[in-house]
Structure 1
Amino acid sequence: MSIRAFAEELGVNVRTVAKWEKLQAAIVPRPDTQAILDTALNRADAAAQQRFQSLLAEIGPMAGTPAGEAGVHSWSHEAWADDIERAVVYLSRQNFPAASALINRWLLRFPADRLDARGLYLRARSLVLAGDVQRDQGMLVGPGSAQRSYRRALSMFADLDIPCRIAQVSLSLAVIDEMVGDLHSAARRYRLFADDERLSDRDRARSLLWVGTALSKAGEHQYAARVMAEATNVFEDLDEAEDWSVAHQKLALAYRGAGDIDQALRLIEAARTGGAQDTPMQRVRLNTAYAHILVSDRATRDEGIARLEETGRLAHDCRLNHQLRSIDAIRHEVEHFGGINVRR
């Protein structure tokens, strides 16, 4: 509202509200005026109250509060947790700027030395989400990278002694190893996580699938396919439809690498039919795998190239840089070697 509109809403003088605007935290309202303000706040909806609490937190220590005593209040914990859940939704939609804004507002607002155990837990979770954003944009190692964010989160979860979170972040660091090309090291770590009781059944099954993914990238396609098939069966038993579809996609690429295009096409068709394609990330990953299989046979090479170009544009528009690098690698393969003859 404007100053005049807010004054009319409260039933006070315009000069009074103008004074509040000028002096801000230095002003101490009279008891009757404070009661009017309290009533206005209580009548506001939940979103407005949360905004008020967030803005109040940004002011820092209140007048008369000794330095170092002001920290995160219980309502800040709730607002922070809500923003984490909102950031998860934005990340799932690949809306990286919105997710980063929600995460960074808390990481920048409260230094770790001002946080209690609950606040430290929320900060560690925020760092994990920051790592996920950086990973999906291809910022893997170095300053401002996923690896750095995950390591900071891992240290905090270790200090808090939360075993399941320690295992989850350690698994994310193994994913970074795979993404930067340290394939056999990643495969060994995935194998350990596949039997790690700190992780959920789903995360253990995903670890097993990723053993195969790393080994397939390393050229060990037949062994990788056996491991992936085992993980696929686990996802079916767990009724994890999306993971089951992803497993078929990765299994299809292992068969492509082994030269069995017919089986690869059958598996990728199962992934395309049964898997979710609601987000840009899902569409890019699935269409990249499908195009890679198509360009591996001269008979479908042109169709694969067209699909690859379309998928590359989507990856570029959504800033999915790691996926874009994978697409560029496939383009390079096609440009230099043409269609790849394989047995059918």
Structure 2
Amino acid sequence: MASVRRWTGREAGLLRQALRMSVRAYAAHLGVGIRTVSKWEKLGTTTCPWPDTQAILDTALARSDGTAQARFEQLLDASPGRQSTGTPSLTIADHETWTEDLERIVVCLDRQDFAFAATLLERWLGPVQPRDLDDRGLYLYGRSLVLSGDLRRLQGTLQDLMTAKRLYSDAHDVFAELDIPRRAAQIELSLAVVTEMAGRLTPAATLYQQLTDDQRLGSADRARALLWIGTALAKDGRNEFAIQVMGQAAERFEDLDEPEDWATAQQKLALAYRGVGDLTRALAYIDTARSNGRFETPLQRVQIDTAHGHILLTDPATRSAGHAVLDRASDTATRYGLKHQLRSIKTVRNSEEYT
């Protein structure tokens, strides 16, 4: 799909033509005034829509059908003033628009709106060459690489994880060049998560351990590294040790007043207690997690339902309820393209079939 790094009146007018709408219908479609559309088409490249309207145009293009998108790309190619394929010189306004796009990408990833997040990322990562950027542009480029890695990691196929590792590594190089150690350390934490998701549990635990005392990270990130040591240990079957480590992490989150992370720790402790065969404590901890966590995003809902279903499935008396909870988690994961979570749910079901 064609992408627009920065909308001017020319691109806005070409999109109207691609959608085959009248000026009045196009204005209503975008939620802007008829005079605004007329001004775009009159002034062309000499006028730029406001940042909020740039976002509306992005959405209109992304949600148009494939035929309209193809027409738009053809009109762009045929129109005078087609943007150069080389890296343009970024202005202060470009930096502001890029920053706003990054904020929108974060929201898209929270909502698991992967398609629109990918469109926004391609808008910047596609045409930009890092060697031509100033420090501000390079910082934004590094943040874009990180979010692109997050996008891949959240989707979670093995190929996605390999791509996420490459993107994170490239971002790490950027922040090392800019001498921003906190960002570099946060990326190292993300690389450890990718290592764990790929099934390399011992190397992941080692990486987490190195980061628990890394002063480049803030206190909350160091506590997360400690919690994720416990996660890797539990996945490796070392549940008693995992319970000790996770308990320490939960205490840190309580001291730091991080309720969401504390609730996540309760969820992970529930699974570890299930691993040692203490279903009473497992159910108590999962109930605590469900009562105290918000679980607003699709990923969070899938994770808590998967954990709850896994515990219920362990007891023959609650096995039917466990399957129902996992069915709900599977439906949500399918709807939002959470492939790694679907694999986890399948693993849970298969493991219980042979117990």
The residue that corresponds to 1:28 in the other structure is: none
Name 1:168's counterpart in structure 2: 186
Q: Report the equivalent of 2:139.
A: 121
Letter in 2 for 1:213: T
Deviates more, 1:80-89 or 1:141-150: 141-150
1:311 aligned residue: 329
- Report whether the alignment pairs 1:73 with 2:91: yes
Q: TM-score, normalised by structure 2?
A: 0.78
Q: Within 2, Cα distance between the matches of 1:290 and 1:308?
A: 8
CA shift for structure 1 position 121 = 0.9
Quote the residue 1:295 is aligned against.
313
Segment drifting more, 327-336 vs 178-187: 327-336
Q: Which amino acid aligns with 1:191?
A: Q
CA distance in 2, matches of 1:86, 1:49: 12
C-alpha contact 1:241 1:275 (8 A) present in aligned 2: yes
Point out the structure with max Rg over C-alpha.
Answer: 1
- Long gaps (5+) in structure 1: 26-36, 62-66, 338-344
Report sequence identity in percent.
Answer: 45
Conserved 8 A contact 1:139-1:145 = no
Could you tell me which residue of structure 2 aligns to residue 30 of structure 1? none
Tell me how far 1:336 sits from its aligned partner: 2.9
How much does 1:48 deviate?
Answer: 4.0
Amino acid at match of 1:260: D
Alignment counterpart, residue 47 of structure 1, candidates 42, 46, 52: 52
Corresponding residue number in structure 1 for 2:122: 104
Q: Which amino acid aligns with 1:302?
A: S
**1:91 pairs with 2:109:** yes
Task: Give, as a single letter, the amino acid of the residue that structure 1 aligns with 2:145.
Answer: L
Determine the C-alpha separation between the residues in 2 that align with 1:80 and 1:45.
13
- Superposed, which structure 2 residues align to 1:1-344 within 5 Å? 9=35, 46-48=51-53, 59-60=82-83, 70-141=88-159, 145-337=163-355
The answer to whether the Cα contact below 8 Å between 2:153 and 2:161 also exists between their aligned partners in 1 is no
Q: d(CA) in 1 for partners of 2:161 and 2:323?
A: 35
**Quick one: structure 1 residues 225 and 168, their matched pair in 2 at CA, closer, same or farther if it must change by over 3 Å?**
same
Kept after mapping to 2: 8 A contact 1:138/1:320 = yes
Distance 1:192 1:325 in 2: 29
AA aligned to 2:52 is A
How far off its partner does 1:317 sit?
Answer: 1.1
- Give the partner amino acid of 2:108: Y
- CA 1:48–1:235 in 2, change beyond 3 Å: closer, same or farther? same
Q: 1:173 to 1:9 in 2, by over 3 A?
A: closer
The 3 A distance-change label for structure 1 pair 59 and 123 is farther
Residue 110 of structure 2 aligns with an amino acid whose one-letter code is S
Q: Does the 8 Å CA contact 2:153/2:160 hold for their aligned counterparts?
A: no
**Distance (Å, rounded) in 2 between the aligned partners of 1:110 and 1:59:** 16
Aligned residues: 305
- CA gap 1:115/1:50 in 2 versus in 1, 3 angstroms: farther
Cα gap change, 1:192/1:4 in structure 2, threshold over 3 Å: closer, same or farther? closer
Query: 1:136 is matched by which residue type in structure 2?
Result: L
Distance 1:332 1:91 in 2: 29
Task: Note the C-alpha offset of 1:51.
Answer: 8.2
Residues 45 and 110 (structure 1 numbering): CA distance in 2 closer, same or farther, change over 3 Å? closer
CA distance 1:302–1:106, change in 2 (3 Å): same
Residue identity matched to 1:47: D
TM-score (norm 1): 0.81
- Quote how far apart the aligned CAs of 1:102 are: 1.2
Structure 1 CA distance, aligned partners of 2:285 and 2:114? 31
Is the CA contact 1:139–1:146 (under 8 Å) kept in the aligned structure 2? no
Task: Give the Cα–Cα distance (whole angstroms) in 2 for the partners of residues 183 and 144 of structure 1.
Answer: 16
Contact 2:51 2:97 in 1 (8 A): no
Show structure 2 runs of 5+ residues with no match. 1-12, 17-21, 28-33, 58-75
Q: C-alpha displacement at 1:47, in angstroms?
A: 2.6
How many angstroms does 1:4 deviate by? Answer: 7.9
* SS of corresponding position for 1:291: helix
Q: Deviations over 1:207-257 (max 9, x none)?
A: 000010000110110011000000001101111111000000001101100
- Distance in 2 (alpha carbons) for counterparts of 1:50 and 1:279: 22
Return closer, same or farther for 1:336/1:271 CA change in 2, 3 Å cut-off. Answer: same
Cα distance between partner residues in 2 of 1:127 and 1:180: 20
Q: Aligned-pair distance for 1:113?
A: 2.3
SS of match in other structure, 2:354: helix
Separation (CA, whole Å) in 1 of partners of 2:197 and 2:50: 45
